[in-house]
């Protein structure tokens, strides 16, 4: 996972974008706006997913950066060794970083998997990789829809045309989406349109969008 201090994010003061880039840089810009005592709410989002980013802006800019650095330096505890990841391997079987977890299947599924070349583990890996390739476009479409809708809900949920624009987003209808978001403040409109590029592009047309 990417260190938190390196997250690419975007900050808004009300309807106005005040910074975009690495978290540390955007956080300092947001703190400047807060310290000036403006009345507009300051909101930070992950620039790719639109997940909200909440920070502690108390103290000095140096205090803020120290907290970000401490947050970025925290690591989850190392996973306990598993038979597949840490057992000694013979010649020709390099460590692949696989993780052993329980899989529950019906007896006929196990019979089929065990009959495949390489056994159940190899067959399952091949099936997963094939599924990832088959669904890559649809997964990208879903992520783009979710990111755009998440941002729009927070920043434009009470603006005229929001519900209709959301429907156009999930229908992959670019002309209608562009028409409905046009009256919105420029920074909100531009970022929503940027997030929706994949959701309104060729992938959406090919998959029929998700209605």
In a domain, 82, yes or no: no
pLDDT (tens digit, 9 = 90+) per residue, 69-126? 998 877 555 444 444 444 444 444 445 566 777 888 888 888 888 888 888 788 787 7
In a domain, 109, yes or no: no
Domain final residue pick, 51, 73, 95: 73
Distance between CA atoms of 204 and 167, rounded to whole angstroms?
A: 13
Query: CA-based Rg of the chain, rounded to a whole angstrom?
Result: 23
Q: How many CA atoms lie within 13 A of 61 on its CB side?
A: 12
Name the nearest CA neighbour of 22 among 57, 1, 42, 47.
Answer: 47
- Mean per-residue pLDDT, 131-149: 80
Give the mean pLDDT of the chain: 83
Confidence band, pLDDT 50/70/90 cuts, at residue 137: low
Domain of residue 183 covers 134-207
Distance between CA atoms of 67 and 49, rounded to whole angstroms?
A: 23
- Mean per-residue pLDDT, 2-21: 86
In a domain, 194, yes or no: yes
Domain final residue pick, 73, 92, 117: 73
Name the nearest CA neighbour of 184 among 208, 207, 147, 152.
Answer: 152
What is the tally of structural domains in the chain?
2
DSSP labels, 101-112: ------HHHHHH
In a domain, 81, yes or no: no
Q: pLDDT above 70 covers what percent of the chain?
A: 77
Domain final residue pick, 73, 92, 121: 73
Runs of H (alpha helix) within the chain = 23-35, 61-73, 83-86, 107-114, 119-156, 162-171, 174-181, 186-195, 202-207
Q: pLDDT above 90 covers what percent of the chain?
A: 56
pLDDT for position 208: 54
DSSP labels, 77-95: PPPPP-HHHHS---TT---
pLDDT (tens digit, 9 = 90+) per residue, 149-193? 999 999 999 999 999 999 999 999 999 999 999 999 999 999 999
pLDDT for position 83: 44
pLDDT for position 108: 85
Distance between CA atoms of 77 and 11, rounded to whole angstroms?
A: 31
pLDDT at 142 > cutoff 70: yes
pLDDT for position 92: 45
In a domain, 122, yes or no: no
pLDDT for position 19: 97
More reliable by pLDDT, 196 or 92: 196
């Amino acid at each position: 996972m990417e260190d938190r201090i390196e997250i690419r994010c975007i900050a808004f003061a009300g309807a106005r974008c005040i910074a975009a880039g690495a978290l540390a840089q955007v956080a300092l810009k947001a703190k400047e706006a807060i310290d000036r005592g403006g009345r507009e709410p300051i909101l930070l989002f992950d620039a790719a997913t639109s997940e909200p980013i909440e920070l502690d802006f108390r103290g000095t800019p140096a205090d803020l950066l120290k907290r970000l650095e401490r947050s970025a330096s925290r690591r989850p505890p190392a996973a306990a060794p598993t038979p597949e990841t840490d057992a000694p391997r013979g010649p020709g079987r390099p460590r692949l970083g696989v993780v052993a977890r329980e899989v529950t299947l019906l007896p006929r599924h196990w019979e089929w998997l065990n009959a495949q070349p390489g056994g159940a583990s190899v067959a399952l890996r091949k099936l997963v990789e094939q599924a990832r390739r088959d669904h890559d476009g649809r997964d990208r479409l879903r992520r783009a829809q979710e990111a755009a809708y998440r941002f729009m809900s927070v920043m434009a949920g009470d603006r005229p045309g929001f519900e209709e624009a959301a429907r156009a987003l999930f229908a992959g209808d670019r002309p209608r989406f562009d028409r409905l978001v046009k009256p919105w403040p420029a920074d909100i409109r531009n970022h929503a349109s940027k997030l929706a590029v994949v959701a309104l592009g060729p992938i959406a047309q090919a998959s029929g969008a998700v209605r």
